[in-house]
Amino acid sequence: MSGCIHAVHSKKRIEATSDVSTILERLESVGIVVEYQCREGYCGSCRVSLLAGTVEYVTKPLAFVNPGEVLPCCCRPRTDVELDI
């Protein structure tokens, strides 16, 4: 994982680390709560707005993702990202 994760509403900037595989796991590791259910990209309940940056999906999500949205349960940052969390 590379890049920094900026959670706008939580007012936190978090460095991505190689020991964590997804954005969701990294957010959880610093105490930021994101609603989720499946952790696999099936349900879409973790959907958040991507305000800036790019991500790559560890597994292709099956849930519908609108432009400007990401599923943090199954992606990691390719660049610094800003999320509406």
Backbone phi, psi, residue 73, to 5°: -70, -20
Q: What is the mean pLDDT of the chain?
A: 93
Q: Are 37 and 24 in contact (CB under 8 A)?
A: no
pTM for the structure as a whole: 0.91
Which pLDDT belongs to residue 1?
A: 58
Q: Which helix (H) or strand (E) holds 1?
A: none
Residue 21 has pLDDT above 90, yes or no: no
List beta partners, residue 8: none
Domains of the chain: 2-81 (3.10.20.30)
Residue 17 has pLDDT above 90, yes or no: no
